[in-house]
Amino acid sequence: MNDILTALLLVFGSLFCFVAALGMLRLPDTVIRMHAATKAGTLGAGLILIAESFFYAELGITLRALAAITFLLLTAPVAAHLIGRAAYYSGIRLWHKTWIDQLKDRYPAGDPPEESEP
């Protein structure tokens, strides 16, 4: 039972990772690409880590896998937010079919707001 579950989770996790990489290659725009990388990549890595906790079925491994998943779920949105902010201010060109850009009037691309020095 555990073997079947491990195999299924491994296959699905790796396929989600493959979808993330394919989206990385094929999608038209930095921000849209970030969508694929962050969500599908996190889901794939999380599924593989769950597969590992099913495979070993020990408390220590499961706790470590859960810690890794929690860390991934905490850090992936933060990293994506930082990259998206930096990408928008560095003046990337959005896809030509993008028709909602709520930051356009506030911060035209290439003009970052003044940031207080830490």
Partner 1 sequence: MPADTSLVEIASRFALVVLLISIALALVRLIKGPDAADRIVALDLISMLIIGFLATESIYAGETSFLDVAIGYALIAFLGTVALARFLMRSTQLTSKNMNKIEDKTTNNE
How far is CA 65 from its chain centroid? 18
Is residue 112 a contact residue for partner 1 (CB under 8 A)?
Answer: yes
Exactly one of 28, 77, 82, 101 binds partner 1 (CB under 8 A); which one? 82
Half-sphere exposure of 18 (CA within 13 A, CB side): 6
Is residue 78 a contact residue for partner 1 (CB under 8 A)?
Answer: yes
d(CA 51, CA 9): 5
Per-residue mark of binding to partner 1, 6-45 (x: CB under 8 A): xxx-xx-xxx-xx-xxx-xx----x--xx--xx--xx-xx
Q: Binders of partner 1: how many residues, by CB under 8 A?
A: 63
Count of other CB atoms within 10 angstroms of residue 91 = 11
Count of other CB atoms within 10 angstroms of residue 105 = 7
DSSP codes joined into one string, 13-61: HHHHHHHHHHHHHH-SSHHHHHHIIIIIHHHHHHHHHHHHHHHH--HHH
Is residue 79 a contact residue for partner 1 (CB under 8 A)?
Answer: yes
Exactly one of 96, 103, 110, 116 binds partner 1 (CB under 8 A); which one? 110
Residues that bind partner 1 (CB under 8 A): 3-4, 6-8, 10-11, 13-15, 17-18, 20-22, 24-25, 30, 33-34, 37-38, 41-42, 44-45, 48-49, 51-52, 55-56, 61, 64-65, 67-68, 71-72, 75-76, 78-80, 82-83, 85-87, 89-92, 105-108, 110-115
